[in-house]
Structure 1
Amino acid sequence: MKNDDPHFRTLWYRVLAALLGAAFIPLVTIGGIFSIYAVSIFKTRTLEMLVRDATLRQWHLDRFLQDRILELGWVARVPSAILTDQERFDAYARDLIRERPWMNDLAIFDLDGNQLAYTGHYARQTGNYSGREWFRKARDAGSCISDMELGNRQLPHISIAVRGQGRLQDLIIRASVDSKQIHRQMNPEQKAFFSANVFLVNQNGRYQIPPPSGGQIMGPSDIGAQDRFDGIQTRTDGDTILMTTWLQAAPWILAVHYEKDAVYAPAVEMRLLSLWALLIGGFLIVCFVLLTADALVSRLEATRQRIGHLNRQLRRSSFMTSAMELGTGLLREIIDRLSSITVAAQWLETHLADNLTPPVNEDIRQISESATVGRERLNQFLSIFDQQTSMITAVNLESVVKTLLTWLQQELTLRCIRVEWEVENDLPEIRSDEVKLRHAIQNLLINAIHAVNQHGVIQITLSRENKGVAMTIADNGPGIPEAEREKIFEPLYTTKSDGTGLGLPVARDVIQALGGSLILLQTTSAGTAFRLFLPCDLGASPVVAGATDANAET
């Protein structure tokens, strides 16, 4: 608070609390709701992205396995003479394996499980394979992708087998694929989250491809045995999110583990950003509220001071009114006495003129004239305080100004102020309220006298302009400071210790009520000029050329 006045201290605290409450309650409520809603939407969209990521991995692996079955199907169309002859098969299969790096080896079996031909990276193992599960399924169903197995060489691999129908006999074509090829297909380059742990389990819950974080091939997993389901299942367990889905090409479950901290890291950042936004917004609001409350209370304090000043002026005006009521009676008594002196002087001139010397007659004449002039001046002065009905009449503006200067002549003489006139010839009369107009011009002249103070000049210009009469009152006083120019027409604003702050506001209101305008024409360190315009006809209110808002003129 700039004005630390105890009178408004409690009000300042109340205004501050009310503004802070009105600002922070909606901010915190709306911000909290928006933050919770935004985080909820983000989590929902993130889960949708995780589902798409798991679906993409499933699609890549399914397509890889289905393409391998199709390739073996093309091999099955090769003539049986080539497939069953080891030498000819070696020549054919070596090129085939070199072109297809996913193949570890390629073997041909008859329907009884006997190995007829073999080519691959390992030594040929003879024996009967009719007891192998993949063999039985390929023979019965036409194709098969086996679970992960060690085989005779104790190396983990899967077997992909298809049954080919030849002219002479049906054959089983089998290729083995190691776990690295499968793992590579589960992690495509276009994956959404690089921090995911991907693994495969069979329908009994045993690892086919274990996760990088731990587990053994063909060892038990945490998923356990599951029945086939459609789509993707989502399970949240502690700090991880697990997505599971069945492959279409093989009886395996693709499982993807996501770390919550990595997945929801942007949500945490969003909350921190919302918190920072709340803190910064709260700081700005506090600053704004402090400035607003301070400005409001400061204006209230300034208004209270102006009201106190106005109360003092009203008390002074009340005292002056009471004094004038007493003074009016005294002045009327003086007028009566002057009237008696005038009558006595005239009687002496009439009846004793022949008996008196010339010097005495001249003295009597001067006494009579002085008494008459004094009575007229007092009558004019008292007429100002008479309650007169507002009346629109023809008014000679020059005559009104001269009358006012006559009343102010003694003040002008004592202050050594010279009045310079410039009046246009044949100045028209205006229809206006002479009493109100005289009061407004009187305020302007008194302000000019106070501005000049002593040994100065007041210039008055009267001219015809735009179906009316314009008057300029200029003085060579110190001028109006720039900081105060916008306030001079505000009621109760004054820079004088004994001023009321009503002179210029009342003058402008009166002149505007009479259809005219009053503006601050110019003000510099060399003086101030006010410009007054009044239309000849009170019903017409033409726009004065160059007349703009007082603030713009200054």
Structure 2
Amino acid sequence: ATRRIGLGHWQDRIPAVGSGEVRHLRQDLESMRSALVALDQRHRQAERLATLGMFTATIAHEVRNPLSAIRLTIQMLRQQHSNDTSLPMIENEIERLDDIVDELLGFSRGMTVEVQACNLTTVASDVRRLLHRQLEHSEIELSIEGTTQVQADPRRMRQMLLNLVLNAIHALHSKEDGERLITIALFADGCAVYDNGPGVPDAVRETLFDAFSTQRAEGTGLGLHLARLIAEAHQCSLQYETSPMGGAGFVVRGFPSPPSRASRGQ
């Protein structure tokens, strides 16, 4: 067993044999093997993320310049065609592209947050507005429950909720019968996204938030990873739990409340 480990063959578990000191030695070797497997996986993931960071920084720069030009053109068209209902839809999509660029930069530069008073009710409403057409096309009803304000970065919170709701939309595509429902629940110290889809199998929950972990052929495996990075940048935690609606639930808590007016005046 030690020779196989030394040669880099770490994937196969060491069979349980012997007794006494032999059994204890086997347990120690198995613990070492498991640690080496985990270390190797983290190393491979770090290499992939480093490569992704260099690539995305270039892409983000190349995308942001034409995006700014498109935004200016839309503003000019608004002055000339104020009744054109298609322009707000285009602006929504530009906002989503801008968020994607910020996500790419988050991977390449590291996640940073600008904490301020953040109305999560407004953030949740923005997410529903941005995803309106996608929700309508997928015949999904998205509801918002509760109201709250916390200390957080509003832009990062919108990115996090966008990724969690998009994850729920993709999960509900496999639901053929009955209503398709998503709820953004707001708490005093955070929020959650629940759906009534199939949920997450036990076998994949351990790696659910790992980069590049995905069950969809067309998925990147980065959405939930990014959502957790945003939560952790706020010193909070993002956890999976079974939804009260029977599907998947993603809950983030631990945000402080904004300072009161009295404390701000001191």
1:45-84 map, 5 Å: none
Task: Say whether residues 1:382 and 2:98 are aligned partners.
Answer: yes
For residue 382 of structure 1, give the secondary structure of its aligned residue in structure 2. Answer: helix
Q: 1:446-480 CA deviation, whole Å, 9 max, x = no partner?
A: 332333235532122335xxxx2553321122223
Q: 1:477-513 CA deviation, whole Å, 9 max, x = no partner?
A: 2223335545546x558344731462453244245x2
Task: Say whether residues 1:401 and 2:124 are aligned partners.
Answer: yes
User: Given the superposition, is the C-alpha separation of residues 296 and 405 from structure 1 closer, same or farther in structure 2, using an over 3 Å criterion?
Assistant: farther
Q: 1:358-401 CA deviation, whole Å, 9 max, x = no partner?
A: xxxxxx5555x544653565257436638998544332211101
Conserved? CA contact 2:193–2:251, under 8 Å: yes
CA distance in 2, matches of 1:323, 1:529: 32
CA distance in 2, matches of 1:488, 1:444: 12
Runs (5+) with no aligned partner, structure 2: 261-266
- Whose strand fraction is larger, Structure 1's or Structure 2's? 1
Q: 1:235-262 CA deviation, whole Å, 9 max, x = no partner?
A: xxxxxxxxxxxxxxxxxxxxxxxxxxxx
Aligned to 2:200: 480
Aligned to 2:36: 300
Q: Give the TM-score of the pair, scaled to structure 2.
A: 0.66
Aligned to 1:419: 141
CA distance in 1, matches of 2:76, 2:245: 52
1:323-338 map, 5 Å: 323-338=59-74
Conserved? CA contact 2:74–2:87, under 8 Å: yes
CA distance in 1, matches of 2:74, 2:144: 37
For residue 537 of structure 1, give the secondary structure of its aligned residue in structure 2. Answer: coil
Question: Which structure would you say has the larger Rg?
Answer: 1
Conserved? CA contact 1:458–1:474, under 8 Å: yes
CA distance in 2, matches of 1:442, 1:376: 13
Given candidates 185, 200, 208, the residue that maps to 1:461 is 185
1:190-269 map, 5 Å: none
User: Given the superposition, is the C-alpha separation of residues 320 and 538 from structure 1 closer, same or farther in structure 2, using an over 3 Å criterion?
Assistant: same
Aligned CA RMSD, in angstroms, stands at: 4.2
CA distance in 1, matches of 2:34, 2:254: 39
Conserved? CA contact 2:189–2:255, under 8 Å: yes
User: Given the superposition, is the C-alpha separation of residues 525 and 301 from structure 1 closer, same or farther in structure 2, using an over 3 Å criterion?
Assistant: farther
Conserved? CA contact 1:474–1:527, under 8 Å: yes
CA distance in 2, matches of 1:471, 1:459: 10
User: Given the superposition, is the C-alpha separation of residues 428 and 309 from structure 1 closer, same or farther in structure 2, using an over 3 Å criterion?
Assistant: closer
Paired AA for residue 528 in structure 1? A
1:523 deviates by: 5.4
Conserved? CA contact 2:128–2:142, under 8 Å: no
For residue 197 of structure 2, give the secondary structure of its aligned residue in structure 1. Answer: coil
Q: Which has the higher contact order (CA 8 A, sep 6+)?
A: 2
Alignment: residue pair count: 238
1:534 deviates by: 5.3
Paired AA for residue 405 in structure 1? R
For residue 502 of structure 1, give the secondary structure of its aligned residue in structure 2. Answer: helix
Runs (5+) with no aligned partner, structure 1: 17-281, 347-363, 541-554
1:77-116 map, 5 Å: none
Q: 1:6-27 CA deviation, whole Å, 9 max, x = no partner?
A: 8515x99xxx9xxxxxxxxxxx
Aligned to 2:264: none
CA distance in 2, matches of 1:374, 1:334: 10
Paired AA for residue 436 in structure 1? R
